[in-house]
Amino acid sequence: MIQFGRRGRRSAGPGAVGSGTGDAVDTRPSGSDPAEAVRAESIGSVPAGSSDLTPTGSVPVDGRGTVSTGSVTGSRSTGAGDAPAVRVRGLTKTFGTFTAVDDLSFEVARGEVFGFLGPNGSGKTTTIRMLTGTLLPTAGSIEVLGTDMARRAASVQPRIGYMSQRFSLFEDLTVEENLRFYGGVYGLDAATFAERRDYVLDMAGLRGREGELTANLSTGWKQRLALGTGTIHSPELLFLDEPTSGVDPVARRRFWDLLYDLAASGVTLFVTTHYMDEATNCSRLALMYRGRIVADGTPRAVRAAAASPGNPDPSLEDAFVRLIGAEGG
């Protein structure tokens, strides 16, 4: 596996140009402004966690304030077919003198609904852009579906889906035309597209709205269409960046029902969100604050990590408040 140098930045490759200072500057389209994506962001390290962490007694806090809610219960096969959906080691991203992502390490098992939680500006979008290959890391290594993203990012991208917080829809096209456009982007032949189109229309509840102009859809329906375009090619791994931002609680609940259906079909989900109540929808999660991951484990384990004599059964929101206190917040 190629490691990006900690001091010598990765040399500029396709889509990147040298800045003259050793930093690689990404010039590929991303759908978001890097300055917005990294405001006040710095991601800390997190131990590689198990997909099933059960708290046992008190949970130690290390010198950096990171709560470890368990240990890896067993090593996974290193074969590509059995490798974790995501494996990150020492992931770092700097913009000039600002460190946006700092030595991040974690794994996401196949079939998980993995929640990447934290307040706005905590580095979630910067991380997800590196995981999907649209932003070059400064240092560290990334494997997605057993593939080294430094060497073969293009080969794995057809196997992943991405739903950005801005939905990435063409508002002057109809629902049908958006689906056809993304089907073409992923190179689906006519027969495969017809099959996937029918699946997406039914899955997202868009049947009967094929001819509607996307600009005229409500935010909730645009959200469903964005999910459809992100899954039109039947991805193995789906990244969702703040997918429920800006929609009402009812629409959020319905959207999570759709995600559960996808997970039940075998799709691995990597979801970033700043809504604490959505954490309970995840099989495992990581909590971020001020660039550090302050907890990593199942929702139950994270809550146990923050338990105290005065609050032996904290909510996830209580847990987050207490854990960031360990960071001096």
CATH number of the domain that residue 261 is part of:
3.40.50.300
Pick from 116, 165, 34, 126: which is nearest to 288 by CA?
116
What integer pLDDT is reported at residue 38 of this predicted model? Answer: 31
Checking if the pLDDT of 186 tops 90, the result is yes
Checking if the pLDDT of 4 tops 80, the result is no
Report percent pLDDT > 70 for the chain. 74
Within-domain flag for 243: yes
Which residues, at least 6 apart from 224, have a Cβ–Cβ distance to it below 8 Å?
Answer: 204, 205, 206, 255, 258
Checking if the pLDDT of 262 tops 70, the result is yes
Within-domain flag for 204: yes
* Total domains present in the chain: 1
Within-domain flag for 261: yes
Least confidently predicted of 34-38, 145-149, 176-180, 184-188: 34-38
Checking if the pLDDT of 10 tops 80, the result is no
Least confidently predicted of 37-46, 175-184, 221-230: 37-46
Pick from 150, 203, 129: which is nearest to 4 by CA?
150
Within-domain flag for 64: no
Within-domain flag for 24: no
- Positive or negative, the CA dihedral 255, 261, 265, 270 is positive
Within-domain flag for 307: yes
CA distance 285 to 116: 6
Q: 262 and 300 in contact (C-beta within 8 Å)?
A: no
Pick from 153, 202, 200: which is nearest to 179 by CA?
200
Within-domain flag for 181: yes
Within-domain flag for 169: yes
Range of 284's domain? 110-134+147-325
Q: Which residue has the higher pLDDT, 17 or 191?
A: 191
On the 0-12 / 13-18 / 19+ scale of CB atoms within 10 A, 225 is: buried
